[in-house]
Amino acid sequence: MKIIMLGAPGAGKGTQAKKIAEKYKIPHISTGDIFRANIKGGTELGMKAKSYMDQGQLVPDDVTIGMLLDRISQDDCQNGYVLDGFPRTIPQAQSLTAALNERGEKMDYAVDVDVPDEAIVNRMGGRRACVKCGATYHVAFNPPKAEGICDACGDSLVLREDDKPETVQKRLTVYHDQTQPLIEYYSKEGILVTVDGTKGLNEVFEDIVAVLGA
């Protein structure tokens, strides 16, 4: 089962992608993870990706597509995978479709987790991250035991640059301009599924499973 997760930044598609991967025993492939691995390793592609991500911009296709296609060629993807964060643009979607066609494959579902912009700004503005161990919290939905302190390692929590309202708004503008057209693209492909992302996390997952099958 090959699944693409769609939705604005902060809509919760990453969380749902992980739950789908766990339930159906297929890899969760996040371009964010691929980027972070390259950034951590100090690769040329990683540094190039970081320069765009720091500005709240999308990473160019030539930096992204090669890494992605290599990943889905690995053995653990034989029974399918969940793509989280790719494709982000129509050209990327077309490149992915063409690459899969060459292998005699195709995507099965594109799941759009739909959340209004205002709710996303509120959600992301409440996120807090530990600079030491990377643990994440939310002041309303998943608060630490002690305000501003990481439960895991005791270090300070911060509001990350990309979670600040002005950065979120910029990311949403980029999303509506470049990524939202994918909804129409995959609708025409006949594989689009839309779920209400404002519901509780488990409710959203139940709605997705109802479509994908038990």
Domains and CATH numbers, the chain: 2-115+177-212 (3.40.50.300)
Does residue 171 have an active-site annotation?
Answer: yes
pLDDT in 10s for each residue of the chain, 214 residues:
999 999 998 899 989 999 999 999 999 998 877 888 788 888 888 888 889 888 888 788 878 887 788 788 889 999 999 999 899 889 999 999 998 998 899 999 999 999 999 999 988 899 999 989 989 999 988 899 999 999 999 999 999 988 999 999 999 998 899 889 999 999 999 999 999 999 989 999 999 999 998 6
Does residue 88 have an active-site annotation?
Answer: yes
Cross-strand pairs, 157: 130
Catalytic one among 71, 123, 128, 171?
Answer: 171
Rg (CA), the chain: 17
Catalytic one among 36, 160, 164, 199?
Answer: 160
Q: Is the pTM of this model over 0.85?
A: no
H helical segments located in the chain: 13-24, 31-40, 44-53, 61-72, 90-102, 117-125, 165-174, 181-188, 201-212
Catalytic one among 13, 19, 123, 128?
Answer: 13
Angle between helices 13-24 and 201-212 (to 10 degrees): 50
Does residue 25 have an active-site annotation?
Answer: no
Does residue 127 have an active-site annotation?
Answer: yes
With contact defined as beta carbons under 8 Å apart, do 49 and 59 qualify? yes
Catalytic one among 2, 71, 123, 127?
Answer: 127
Token pair of 16, please?
A: 């749902």
Phi, psi angles (nearest 5°) of residue 187: -65, -45
Q: For residue 132, give Cα distances in angstroms to 30, 37, 60, 75, 198.
A: 22, 17, 29, 33, 31
Catalytic one among 2, 71, 88, 123?
Answer: 88
